[in-house]
Structure 1
Amino acid sequence: MPRVTSAARLPNWFGLYVSLEDSARTIRQYEPESIPGLLQTRAYAEEVTSAPRGLINGQEVERRVNVRMARQSLLTNPRPPHLSVILNEAVLRRKVGGPKVMVEQLMHLIDVSRSLSVMIRVLPFDAGAHGGMTSAFTILDFPQAARSKEPLEPPLVYVDSLTGALYLNKPSEVQAYELAWDDLGNRALDEDASRKRITEALEEFGNG
């Protein structure tokens, strides 16, 4: 599926992120509330894009979901970025769209987690206070220039909201989120244990 990055199809504050995501070497994401867009199924994406009800109309929901599905082709490129995701365990347990939607979504997570370019880890409920308690965030790192070996762009932190986003690239800002990411990584389950935790949630929805 071709990438869809037209500014006409995206809020202005998000269009920039999609173009940066396209050129990133690594994408590190912490999500406390929902599955990241690059890993969502269509049914799950429709549910989260529709919330809160009344913010955007059904036609806009469909347009944004189509863009989100097209963005996922980034992960199947011949040279995809490395996507590293840490999910709060609450994401796995929250019933978005009902058991059928969640079973499909969690099965998709398990399948994608076996890709060499994707790492999914779960931050368990018993992790205690952690560096991601303020908000979700994404850290983008970019490829190096062939001659200088310096990054083509400095690292960038992206933090979004319902109506806008922050793009943070000052060294002190990036360092703060790097520390938060390292703390999350120290507290999260490893990949195998995370896959097991996802499977447990999947089985609970399947039996519901």
Structure 2
Amino acid sequence: MAGSTIPRRALGRLLRELRTKVEKSQLAAGLSIEVSPQSIGRMEDGQPVKISTPQMDVLLDFYQASTEDKAVALELLREVKAAKGDPAGWWRTYADVVASHFDHYMSLEEACSQLATFQLTLLPGLLQTAAYRRSMILTERPEMSAVDVERKIELAVRRQARIREDPDFSMDVLLSEAVLRHQVGGRQLMAEQLLHLIEVGRLPNVSIRVLPLDAGSHLGLVVQSFTLFEFPPLRASRLIEPPVVFVEGYDGALFLEEPRVIERRQKALEDVGRVALDHDDTRRLVVGIAEEYAA
């Protein structure tokens, strides 16, 4: 578990449900344990808030929580407190060279057990070679110093280590053929990148399939690129956090959690998957394009 992000979200969701059930305001809840209503709101949103176990006991009594709900909430609070001591958040040392939303993104990427992504134009960071990554960094930020460029590449390499080192992590990647055709950094660089893609695709926890350009109409063209995170049960409480969808744009990013939105994205992945090539045909297509670049 990456820090306390996921158990905090689960605890916040439970506390909001309990408060709403007894029709108490955030102001009343805050007064019951002598904290501000803003603190109650932040806690319900899964943000860090200092709260002691005795305070939580009082709050749960105020909410008239059942014995079962109280046990779950206290267990989640223990998970939050225990996670604060975990050696998590290693990526924060790169905060000065990444976007402001990256910390939250990484807390989700590190905590998830399954990552599914559909990409229309570029390879996801977990599949990029160092040369591909360098080319994209310099395209976006040509003024970036050589030192900072290399730090960003180092960050990408450290993220990619999980693919090979964590047997409980799986990745399902759907790529438009356009991703393979965009000549990022030139033909030779792309030839090497596609060979890397074939290598990673052989790993047992990785699925890579390509959507051919002649596939016709499909939901992916409407939905555009996105990533779906799914999470394992929390260590002690065994609760499972709902999935999160990540959508990145040039000027910012969205983290979507509404059940209706998640369901629509899951259906989009299913629709794209139905028209994507199977693994063998994907490999043949990738090899063929790599040979074209190398010729």
Calculate the TM-score normalised by the size of structure 2: 0.65
- Separation in structure 1 between the aligned mates of residue 114 and residue 189 of structure 2, nearest angstrom: 29
Aligned partner of residue 201 in structure 1, secondary structure = helix
1:29, distance to aligned residue in structure 2 (A): 0.5
Which protein has greater RCO, CA pairs closer than 8 Å, 6+ apart? 1
Q: Is the 8 A contact 1:4 1:71 kept in 2?
A: no
> Which structure shows the bigger proportion of residues in helix conformation?
2
**Map of 1:109 onto structure 2:** 197
- Are positions 1:23 and 2:107 aligned together? no
Q: Is the 8 A contact 1:14 1:165 kept in 2?
A: no
Give the 5 Å matches for 1:77-116.
Answer: 77-116=165-204
**Aligned counterpart in structure 2 of residue 129 of structure 1, from 217, 224, 237:** 217
1:130–1:60 distance in 2 versus 1, CA, 3 Å: farther
1:99–1:17 distance in 2 versus 1, CA, 3 Å: same
**Aligned counterpart in structure 2 of residue 163 of structure 1, from 251, 261, 269:** 251
Give the 5 Å matches for 1:3-152.
Answer: 4-6=90-92, 8-9=95-96, 10-54=98-142, 56=144, 58-133=146-221, 134-145=223-234, 150-151=239-240
Aligned residue type for 1:137: F
Across the aligned residues of Structure 1 and Structure 2, the Cα RMSD in angstroms comes to 1.9
Q: Is the 8 A contact 1:4 1:67 kept in 2?
A: no
Q: Is the 8 A contact 1:4 1:70 kept in 2?
A: no
- Separation in structure 2 between the aligned mates of residue 32 and residue 78 of structure 1, nearest angstrom: 27
Q: Higher mean Cα deviation, 184-193 or 66-75?
A: 66-75
Residue segments in structure 2 that go unaligned for 5+ positions in a row: 1-88
1:110, distance to aligned residue in structure 2 (A): 0.5
- Separation in structure 2 between the aligned mates of residue 71 and residue 80 of structure 1, nearest angstrom: 15
1:118, distance to aligned residue in structure 2 (A): 0.4
1:68, distance to aligned residue in structure 2 (A): 1.2
1:70–1:117 distance in 2 versus 1, CA, 3 Å: same
- The alignment-based identity, stated in percent, is 37
Residue segments in structure 1 that go unaligned for 5+ positions in a row: none
Aligned residue type for 2:288: E
Aligned partner of residue 129 in structure 1, secondary structure = coil
1:79, distance to aligned residue in structure 2 (A): 2.4
- Separation in structure 2 between the aligned mates of residue 67 and residue 12 of structure 1, nearest angstrom: 15
Aligned partner of residue 51 in structure 1, secondary structure = helix
**Map of 2:263 onto structure 1:** 175
Aligned partner of residue 197 in structure 1, secondary structure = helix
Q: Is the 8 A contact 2:167 2:205 kept in 1?
A: no
Aligned residue type for 2:243: P
- Separation in structure 2 between the aligned mates of residue 107 and residue 156 of structure 1, nearest angstrom: 31
Aligned partner of residue 165 in structure 1, secondary structure = strand
Aligned partner of residue 79 in structure 1, secondary structure = coil
Q: Which has the larger radius of gyration?
A: 2
